[in-house]
Amino acid sequence: MSITTTSTTFEVHLTESPTPADERAAKLVAPRFGTVFSDHMARITWSVDQGWHDRRIEPYGPLQLDPATAVLHYAQEIFEGLKAYRHADGSVWTFRPWANAARFARSAQRLALPVLSEEDFLGSLAALVATDVEWVPSGDESSLYLRPFMYASERFLGVRPSAAAEYLVIASPVGPYFASGVQPVSIWVAEDFHRAGAGGTGAAKCGGNYAASLLPQQEAYALGYDQVCFLDASTNTLVEELGGMNVFLVHADGSVSTPELSGSILEGVTRSSILQLLADAGHEVRERPVPLAELRAGLEDGSVAEVFACGTAAVVTPIGRLGGQGFDLTVGDGATGPVTSSVRNELTDIQYGRVADRHGWLRRLV
Ligand SMILES: *Cc1c(COP(=O)(O)O)cnc(C)c1O
């Protein structure tokens, strides 16, 4: 059996032990983020000699890696994250996957990995979701989280770009990110650690950036905060982003700011969608350097009314408290602000097909 999408064909090798329907139904009830996986995965292999080949869907399962596989030593790896949403009529859609395909290509270039074409990227998502469509949940704010990734698979300890790579997509059903409704989080501003620096890999979606963010995240948690916010590594004065989410400020005059893409900030698809939706709603939106000193002063004098973080997994997360060395400030009255709520609702309404897709952001998968 094979699945042909727009221009690529995936050979389908179905698992001999699919999850029974009742077991799957139980797993789809309130799964903890990233812990439940569907029955299959998409895969494409690359080598210097053959290029991309062997497009297939195969049973989900462990990878066998030689201990000398390059990725285990030098972290030559990239990933993506997007979701498949079930609409009320049963159809399944994804959101701006072209943007993820383009970002995956940019990440590959920065990490000296081979570029995967948009056709292969979109084709792999469509083939996997068609195979595992019963794993797309239909509950409120539920979705099938898709995780494309690529790693250097050559068995070689020399330091140079790998001559072989594997691309895979796995799928994980997820429930609402906030089980008890959207709750504001507290953020610790790290001043002793950075996730990325000028000329580094901050604008690429690679595992190494996340590895660098874990210790400061742990430190923030120990201090009683939920997440960490990073400053720019060059001056240690400009707000950049959280470990995996971009940041927005809503000013008391209704204008909105987000840190400009400095080269060390990851360009979120959610960020760019929110910039568009806020502009559509008549807000003045600015991408600009955001000094921490200005943010602190704005929270103290009330000229910054709301702060929120955004990314595919949690969509929009209100920030209710911001602390760092020598300060601990409440954002507004600490509750979710009106602009934060309305942009969150607008975006999810588009993703779940509850309002018109006026920007052509959705792509049907099944
Ligand atoms: C993935 C990611 C984001 C959010 O990007 P989305 O495309 O909106 O999901 C923000 N920052 C970092 C560091 C990320 O890795």
Residues of the chain with pLDDT below 70 are 6-7
Separation CA 107–CA 104 (nearest Å): 5
The pLDDT assigned to 140 comes to 85
Tell me the CB-side half-sphere exposure of residue 152, using CA atoms within 13 A.
27
The residue nearest atom 15 of ligand 1, judged by CA position, is 244
The residue nearest atom 12 of ligand 1, judged by CA position, is 244
Domain span at 335:
185-351
Atom of ligand 1 nearest to the CA of 270: 8
Query: Looking at 143, 176, 209, which one is the last position of a domain?
Result: 176
The pLDDT assigned to 250 comes to 98
Q: Is the pTM of this model over 0.75?
A: yes
User: Are both 194 and 281 inside the same structural domain?
Assistant: yes
Query: Looking at 176, 193, 226, which one is the last position of a domain?
Result: 176
Ligand 1 geometric centre to CA of 51 (Å) = 28
User: Are both 161 and 226 inside the same structural domain?
Assistant: no
Atom of ligand 1 nearest to the CA of 202: 13
With a CB cutoff of 8 Å and minimum separation 6, the contacts of 25 are none
Atom of ligand 1 nearest to the CA of 103: 7
Query: Looking at 135, 150, 176, which one is the last position of a domain?
Result: 176
The pLDDT assigned to 177 comes to 80
The answer to whether the CB of 239 falls within 8 A of the CB of 233 is no
User: Are both 152 and 269 inside the same structural domain?
Assistant: no
The CATH number that applies at residue 244 is: 3.20.10.10
Q: Does residue 214 lie in a domain region?
A: yes
Q: Does residue 366 lie in a domain region?
A: no
The pLDDT assigned to 7 comes to 67
Tens-digit pLDDT profile for residues 244-253: 999 999 999 9
Instruction: Tell me the chain's radius of gyration from C-alpha atoms.
Output: 21
Domain count of the fold of the chain: 2
Q: Does residue 33 lie in a domain region?
A: yes
Ligand 1 binding pocket, CB closer than 6 Å = 81, 205, 241, 244-246, 266, 268-271, 311-312
User: Are both 247 and 145 inside the same structural domain?
Assistant: no
Q: Are strands 164-174 and 40-47 parallel, antiparallel or unpaired?
A: antiparallel
Atom of ligand 1 nearest to the CA of 82: 9
User: Are both 152 and 292 inside the same structural domain?
Assistant: no
User: Are both 162 and 263 inside the same structural domain?
Assistant: no
User: Are both 169 and 234 inside the same structural domain?
Assistant: no
